Amino acid sequence: MNIKLDENLGSLRVATLLRLTGHDIATVREQGLISTHDEELIDICQSKNRCLVTIDREFGNRLKYIPSHYRGIIVIRLSPRPTFEDYRTVTETLIAGLEAADVTGKLWIIRQGSIQEYQDIEVEGKDK
């Protein structure tokens, strides 16, 4: 899968683990996109056909970032002071999830050992 790691997850270790399992990884840091506004970043992901992986909880807002409009949005939830082991565990959970299912058009919230999957929110009275 083509993945963009947000600056808050762009550590060499996370990128390396994902690359070792065959994923095409681009990082915000490597591409000089640090401090890019959320809307611009998600637009870049969409235009480059990349799934965004981030710890920025704002991307979990399904009314603002409608999952079906994107290749996938993955929000990682970590403890306030994550350890290397925490990062390794959520990265392994992410890798297993990507092997088992397609994230396209969905929002995944990943905590250590679990993935919650969400789709678009149905808004009453909204024309389709």
Predicted model pTM: 0.91
H or E element that contains 25: strand 24-27
Q: Quick one: pLDDT band at residue 125, thresholds 50, 70, 90?
A: low
pLDDT tops 90 at residue 48: yes
φ and ψ of 117, to 5 deg: -110, 135
Residue 16 backbone dihedrals phi, psi, to 5 degrees: -65, -45
Tell me, which fold does domain 2-118 have in CATH?
Rossmann fold (3.40.50)
Average per-residue pLDDT for the chain: 91
pLDDT for residue 128: 47
**What are the tokens at 49?**
């056909």
pLDDT in tens, 96-113: 999 999 999 999 999 988
Distance, in Å, from the CA atom of 72 to the CA atom of 18, rounded to the nearest integer, reads 16
Measure the CA angle with vertex 79, ends 42 and 3; round to 5°: 30
